[in-house]
Structure formats: structure tokens, C-alpha cells
């Protein structure tokens, strides 16, 4: 067999899917598993979205669209960002729609990075970020975040990672895995540092619609003076329960979007036509999304309270997203081993914290995108496991 690419060989498997696959294998053996590992809404896509998609299929809207995304969808995205983030983007030149935010990450980094460039990434943080950067022969510089600071990044940690090779910082607020929301104060400091050291800000705000306690998630795009170096990434998967529709967008400076469009045209052609029509309908589903966020809030209260009642477990209350990042260091400092043991013996699927970076070791991530009944059952199994 001919040799395979070193670039692909360096990519690490996505551990969440590895845990899920083992859990599914146990279920095929007839074992009931409580799933806390997968970060996917358990709600159906709103009915209006599904009905609109069916109508468009019957109408024959199954052809290529504009490579930047349908103009009417980009206009609606611009209006949404004006209303929610207070930022005005030009739908013609500053917005690009694609098949989810993951392709947009690849396009943005492909347009920004040269081999050897460095990208600051929070640790713990979403594990795919590292693979995105390294695919383009960039280097990840980890910026540690700590429970003592409620997992918000500190100016000192960022400054310690900046070198003359720093090309970008990658933010995720609310965060996967911690649920932390970056404060407006720290965002202003990051904006100043990016300006002083001339690097890009890539802001992944896919969970921005899922926040609790009447918190409005601040966006770094609303801070003056950094529009020419900021890349906003958002999409429909989490807030609208549309993971399988694969629809996301970026709002960024025109020169960068123009280069990303060239990549999209060559590698992806255009976003999925039916998904774009569905995305237009999603903006009309405020009642559905409010109900979903309210249910997540009830689940958050249950799982955080339940985890903190377990022996050896401590868990901060997340401010957004649907993840609880629990400190289990009193039980084990090997989160991978503990997660495997919980799955095999307690039949509870979790994600080991070390997956999200070295500073995630000693933690487990629990997704509460599952029913209250499942959370009750999972907590009962955890208590039984720990007391045994």
C-alpha cells in the first residue's frame, strides 16, 4: 500500500466519538447506558424548520446556491447579529455561510496561517482546535485557565504565550467544556493585546444563545478597534438543535472573507441548499429556542447539585452552553481511566477532562443535553459506583 500523508497521521481521534462508539457497543449487548458524553441537543429541530425544508425539497430547491450562501440568508444573519450582538456586518462582503462551523475554521485558518505560525488556545478547550491548527503546520500555544478563576482566561496567561510568531488567539465563549463565559473586561484586554501585537482574534460563539441567569454573552466583535482583525464563528447546530443540518457562518473583514470564499468554491462549492432555507426559518423559532434554554436551565440545576452531592466531586455552575465540568481529583487524577471505568462498571458515559488539554486532567465533562430522568438515573449510578 502506498504511503499516507503525515499531515493526516498527526490528527488525533476525537475522543468524544470514541467514548460514544464504546457506549453504543455496550448497548448492542443489551446494556443500558446513560449518555453524558455527547455534546448534541436532544431536542428535535423546531417543526417550522422541518416543514420549511420539506416544502423547499418539493419545490425543487436542490441546486447550487451562491458560493457565499443565499443572499437572503446572509441578510437575515446580518440582522440577527445587529439585534443580538449590536454589530453591523455587510451581508454582501463580510458574511460567509458554509456547511457548519468546522469547515469555516479550516477556511479561516487556511487563509491566516503559514507554517510555523502560533495560535493561542485555551486549555482546557475544544480538542479539535489543536487539530485545525496543526493541519496547516501551525503550532498551538496553550493558555491555561483555572477553576480558581472560574475558567476565565487571565491577561497574564495570554501575555506569557505571546511571541513574535503569534498569529491568532482562538476564543470560545460560552466554553466547551467548562461553560465559562469570557467577561467583557477580559475581552477588552484581549482586544488591546491583539492590536498591540498584531494578531487575529477568532471567536467561536456557537453557544452564545445558550446562557443562564439573564446573562447576555458579550462578543468581542462589539469592541471598537478590532473589527479588522476579528473572525466571528456561529451556526445553527446548538441553539436551534440543527446539528445534522450542517449550517454555520462567519462574519469577518472583507479581505479575509474573499480568500475564504476561494477555498469554499474549490473545496465545498457552496453550503447545502435545503439547510440554508431551513436556517432562514430557524430565525422565526424564538418560542422554541426559549423553551429549550429554559429546559437546559432546569437540567443544569439538577446535575450541578447532584454532582456536588457526590463524594469527592466538586463542580462549578456553568454560565452557558450545556456542559458541567466536574473536578474529580479526589477520586482519580487519571480522568481517562476513571471515565472508562464509569462506562464499563456503572454504564455512565462521560468525557475525560484530559481530552480537552493537560489542564483538564482530573476533571470529567458531563453534557446535560439529555432528559431530567436520564440525569437522575446517571447520578444514582455514579453515587452507587463511588460508594462501592
Q: What is the pLDDT of residues 311-334, one digit of tens each?
A: 999 999 999 999 999 999 999 999
User: What does the angle CA 192 – CA 198 – CA 200 come to, to the nearest 5 degrees?
Assistant: 85
CA 235 to CA 225: how far, in whole Å?
Answer: 25
CA 138 to CA 113: how far, in whole Å?
Answer: 7
**What pLDDT is attached to residue 198?**
97
**What pLDDT is attached to residue 3?**
82
CA 145 to CA 388: how far, in whole Å?
Answer: 33
**What pLDDT is attached to residue 10?**
74
**What pLDDT is attached to residue 304?**
98
Q: To which residue does cell 468546522 refer?
A: 102
CA 132 to CA 204: how far, in whole Å?
Answer: 13
Distance set, CA 38 to CA 92, 150, 308, 368 (Å):
36, 23, 21, 9
User: What is the CATH class of 6-45+287-387?
Assistant: alpha beta
Q: To which residue does cell 476564543 refer?
A: 171
End-to-end CA separation in angstroms for the chain: 50
**What pLDDT is attached to residue 380?**
98
Q: Which three cell numbers stand for residue 191?
A: 482586544
Q: Is the pTM value of this prediction over 0.75?
A: yes
**What pLDDT is attached to residue 169?**
98
**What pLDDT is attached to residue 306?**
98
Residue ranges, the chain, pLDDT below 50:
none
Whether residue 365 contacts residue 323, with contact meaning beta carbons closer than 8 Å, is answered with yes
Whether residue 324 contacts residue 300, with contact meaning beta carbons closer than 8 Å, is answered with yes
CA 348 to CA 306: how far, in whole Å?
Answer: 15
Q: Same topology for domains 6-45+287-387 and 63-282, yes or no?
A: no
The ranges assigned to domains in the chain are 6-45+287-387, 63-282
User: What does the angle CA 157 – CA 224 – CA 67 come to, to the nearest 5 degrees?
Assistant: 95
CATH of domain 63-282: 3.40.640.10
Amino acid at each position: 500500500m502506498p504511503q499516507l500523508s503525515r499531515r493526516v497521521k498527526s490528527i488525533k481521534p476525537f475522543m468524544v466519538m470514541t467514548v460514544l462508539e464504546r457506549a453504543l457497543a455496550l448497548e448492542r449487548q443489551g446494556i443500558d447506558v446513560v449518555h453524558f458524553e455527547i455534546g448534541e441537543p436532544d431536542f428535535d429541530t423546531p417543526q417550522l424548520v422541518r416543514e420549511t425544508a420539506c416544502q423547499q425539497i418539493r419545490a425543487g430547491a436542490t441546486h447550487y446556491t451562491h458560493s457565499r450562501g443565499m443572499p437572503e440568508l446572509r441578510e437575515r444573519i446580518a440582522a440577527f447579529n445587529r439585534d443580538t450582538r449590536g454589530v453591523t456586518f455587510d451581508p454582501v462582503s463580510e458574511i460567509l455561510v458554509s456547511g457548519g462551523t468546522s469547515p469555516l475554521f479550516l477556511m479561516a485558518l487556511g487563509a491566516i496561517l503559514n507554517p510555523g505560525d502560533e495560535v493561542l488556545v485555551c486549555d482546557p478547550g475544544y480538542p479539535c482546535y489543536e487539530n485545525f491548527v496543526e493541519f496547516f503546520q501551525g503550532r498551538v500555544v496553550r493558555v491555561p485557565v483555572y477553576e480558581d478563576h472560574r475558567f476565565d482566561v487571565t491577561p497574564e496567561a495570554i501575555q506569557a504565550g505571546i511571541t513574535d510568531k503569534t498569529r491568532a488567539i482562538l476564543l470560545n465563549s460560552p466554553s466547551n467544556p467548562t461553560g465559562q463565559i469570557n467577561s467583557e473586561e477580559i475581552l477588552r484586554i484581549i482586544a488591546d493585546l491583539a492590536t498591540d501585537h498584531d494578531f487575529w482574534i477568532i471567536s467561536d460563539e456557537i453557544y452564545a444563545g445558550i446562557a443562564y441567569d439573564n446573562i447576555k454573552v458579550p462578543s468581542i466583535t462589539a469592541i471598537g478597534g478590532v473589527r479588522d482583525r476579528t473572525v466571528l464563528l456561529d451556526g445553527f447546530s446548538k441553539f436551534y438543535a440543527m446539528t445534522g443540518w450542517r449550517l454555520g457562518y462567519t462574519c469577518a473583514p472583507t479581505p479575509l472573507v474573499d480568500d475564504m470564499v476561494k477555498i469554499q468554491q474549490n473545496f465545498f462549492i457552496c453550503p447545502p441548499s435545503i439547510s440554508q432555507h431551513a436556517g432562514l426559518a430557524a430565525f422565526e423559532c424564538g418560542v422554541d429556542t426559549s423553551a429549550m434554554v429554559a429546559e437546559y436551565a432546569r437540567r443544569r440545576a439538577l446535575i450541578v447539585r447532584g454532582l456536588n452531592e457526590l463524594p469527592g466531586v466538586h463542580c462549578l455552575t456553568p454560565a452557558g452552553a450545556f456542559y458541567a465540568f466536574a473536578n474529580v481529583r479526589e477520586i482519580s487524577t487519571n480522568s481517562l481511566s476513571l471515565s472508562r471505568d464509569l462506562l464499563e462498571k456503572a454504564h455512565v458515559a462521560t468525557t475525560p477532562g484530559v481530552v480537552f488539554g493537560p489542564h483538564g486532567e482530573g476533571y470529567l465533562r458531563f453534557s446535560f443535553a439529555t432528559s431530567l430522568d436520564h440525569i437522575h438515573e446517571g447520578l444514582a449510578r455514579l453515587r452507587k459506583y463511588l460508594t462501592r
